[in-house]
Amino acid sequence: MKRHLTLPLILLLTGFGFAYAQPLQEGKNDIYYHRYISAEKFFNNYLMQHPSDGEAVLLLTKCYLVQHKLPEANTLMASAPSAKINDPYFLVATGAVCLANGKNNDSCRSFFDQAIDMTKGKDPEILGAIAEMETISPNGNMRFALELIQKAMKRSKYDAGLYVLMGNAYRNLHNGGEAFKAYITATQKNKSLAEAYYLLGKIFVSQNNPEMYVGYFNKALDADPNYGPAMYELYRHYLYAKPDAQRAMQYFKKYAAVSDKNVRHEYALTDLLYLNKEYAGAIKNAKNLIRAEKDSVEPRIYKLIGYSYAESSDSLNALKFMHQYFQHGNDSDFIAKDFETMAQLFKSMDDDQDSVVKYYQLAITISKNPAKLAQYYKDLAAIAAANKDYVAQAKWYRLYYSLKVDVSNVDLFNWGIAAYRSNNYALADSVFGLYTEKYPDQGFGYYWRARTNAVIDTGMTAGLAVPYYSQLIEITERDSLSDTDKKWMLEAYGYVAAYEANTQKNYDKAIEYFDKILEIDPENGDALKYISILEATIKKKEEIN
């Protein structure tokens, strides 16, 4: 569980009035507002002038530990004056660093015991400070921390900060109910304690309950409009949980204004500019990051620039920065959309179809989204068709159909035609068979299945095409025919007539079909010629018999 740290007990005892001109107050304020870099700088400067101030050492130790700077904490302890053994704050700091190094808890706790003995167990500040060091340590003893907090409360029962510490200890014990009660009590003791409202919100973040946590984070800001940690959580809420780029930007700017300045802010601002479609600003910020960070810049910044240029219809610059992204990034970080973007950029430039295909194929290798895969396959099929590569077109349509997406009649038709044009007649017959099953009232499937089987059965010996031409005739025969219908019917009647005449030797039946051709096209020379030939053949046979 992530530790949520309280304002040092020493500050809590001032009642948050900040009215006292205490020498350490500025640093304490920075810790409370999670400005640990500023606090660290303050206490380092202070200790250069007052190296024996145990309280300052403890506060600097906390700054290091919450930032996971254990080497710095160890160096601080090693350089501390020998007088530290006589200062309870030094002893608390020593015990905290001991715990952070994963040493034996009993040996570490001996430093805490010495500090307690030195203050006769009556100093609520020392009791609270030890409790806090236990709560911020991964190796801390929460039961011991709660015991110390209870003792401190007996001597400082109105201190809201002690209830915050209690809530933190219970949270570390995964007891959200008791933590909630403790934080609520803290707000009752001090209605201006923004930290308590913030920590209440964090409970509900862990429960994924946005209605509750947004409410508490807003209460934290009502209590203290400058409480940056609450602004940060609201920024993240509108960035991830309930995406609203404009509101995320609003909270981020407020947070950045009251928090330590660091390079992470520039990354976050650059992301938000992109999400808010402020592409020129995003590009400018990202390029500044590259200049400042040099080889340490996160590779995704090159991608962000590439995407921003793509959205700005500058394909040339988009490709330039996307290439740099692939050069600097790790294969494990690349996503399908990165390769899709490259394919679309090359496609928009109409000068490198091989690269379009290459990047779509790369996108296919890592995409897990059926809808995206379907679109990639269709795009690749369209490219293959434009290149008259019908083998490839049929392949991509086969993969498209294998996804079991909602295939349209046009998709099936294009797949069948690609198979037909690539001389894969068995596949074409199968695809047009699917077409007739799915769209039995449309003639396209029957017509092309007939033509496919006519190619397979070139000698008309098996009559493979006849059933499909017959089905085409059945669903198309009507009083009013379109030009396409007329074309189909003329071809169907002609084929069946030829089959009846040449294979079945049923000349009367053949003449019936040629007559049907004349009903559509009375001047059809072939029909008139073949009718004449067939009638003469029939007459000759009759004369012989």
- Per-residue pLDDT of 457-481, as tens digits, reads 999 999 999 999 999 999 998 768 8
Rounded to whole angstroms, how far apart are CA atoms 20 and 289? 41
The half-sphere exposure of 458 on its side-chain side, counting CA atoms within 13 A, is 2
Q: What are phi and psi of 120, to 5 degrees?
A: 55, 25
Average pLDDT of 484-501? 96
Check whether 11 has a pLDDT greater than 60. no
Average pLDDT of 446-463? 97
Report DSSP letters for 27-53, one per residue: HHHHHHTT-HHHHHHHHHHHHHH-TT-
Rounded to whole angstroms, how far apart are CA atoms 266 and 292? 11
Radius of gyration of the chain measured on its C-alpha atoms? 40
Band of the pLDDT at 81, cuts 50, 70, 90?
confident
Q: Which of 195, 197, 142, 192 is nearest to 170 (CA)?
A: 142
CATH topology of domain 1-190: 1.25.40
Q: pLDDT at position 83, please?
A: 63
Q: pTM for the whole thing? A: 0.82
The gap from C-alpha 513 to its chain's centroid, in whole angstroms, comes to 63
Check whether 235 has a pLDDT greater than 80. yes
Rounded to whole angstroms, how far apart are CA atoms 326 and 300? 9
Bigger pLDDT: 11 vs 213: 213
Report DSSP letters for 490-539, one per residue: HHHHHHHHHHHHHTS--HHHHHHHHHHHHHH-TT-HHHHHHHHHHHHHHH
The 8-class DSSP code of residue 294 comes to G
Q: Which of 386, 444, 446, 385 is nearest to 419 (CA)?
A: 385
Rounded mean pLDDT of the chain? 93
**Does residue 28 contact residue 63 with C-beta atoms inside 8 Å?**
no
DSSP-H helix ranges across 207-260: 210-223, 228-236, 245-258
Query: pLDDT (tens digit, 9 = 90+) per residue, 182-195?
Result: 999 999 999 999 99
Helix (H) or strand (E) holding 277: none
For the chain, what percent of residues have pLDDT higher than 90?
Answer: 89
Rounded to whole angstroms, how far apart are CA atoms 390 and 423? 9
Rounded to whole angstroms, how far apart are CA atoms 198 and 134? 21
Check whether 20 has a pLDDT greater than 70. no
Q: pLDDT at position 16, please?
A: 35
**Does residue 152 contact residue 128 with C-beta atoms inside 8 Å?**
yes
Q: pLDDT at position 19, please?
A: 36
Q: pLDDT at position 480, please?
A: 83
**Does residue 72 contact residue 95 with C-beta atoms inside 8 Å?**
no
Q: pLDDT at position 80, please?
A: 82
Q: pLDDT at position 406, please?
A: 85
Q: pLDDT at position 479, please?
A: 66
Check whether 13 has a pLDDT greater than 70. no
Q: What are phi and psi of 349, to 5 degrees?
A: -95, -10
Average pLDDT of 286-313? 97
Rounded to whole angstroms, how far apart are CA atoms 490 and 449? 16
**Does residue 497 contact residue 528 with C-beta atoms inside 8 Å?**
no
Note the maximum CA span of the chain. 139
Q: What are phi and psi of 175, to 5 degrees?
A: -110, 80
**Does residue 25 contact residue 18 with C-beta atoms inside 8 Å?**
yes
Q: pLDDT at position 157, please?
A: 84
Average pLDDT of 364-383? 95
Average pLDDT of 386-409? 94
Query: pLDDT (tens digit, 9 = 90+) per residue, 42-74?
Result: 999 999 999 999 999 999 999 999 999 999 999
Average pLDDT of 68-83? 90
Which one-letter amino acid corresponds to residue 414? N
**Domain range list for the chain:** 1-190, 334-406, 494-545
The gap from C-alpha 148 to its chain's centroid, in whole angstroms, comes to 45
Query: pLDDT (tens digit, 9 = 90+) per residue, 125-162?
Result: 999 999 999 999 998 999 999 999 999 999 998 899 99
- Exposed (0-12), middle (13-18) or buried (19+): which is 434, by Cβ within 10 Å? middle
- Interhelix angle 466-476/483-502, nearest 10 degrees: 140
Rounded to whole angstroms, how far apart are CA atoms 394 and 415? 5
Rounded to whole angstroms, how far apart are CA atoms 156 and 30? 24
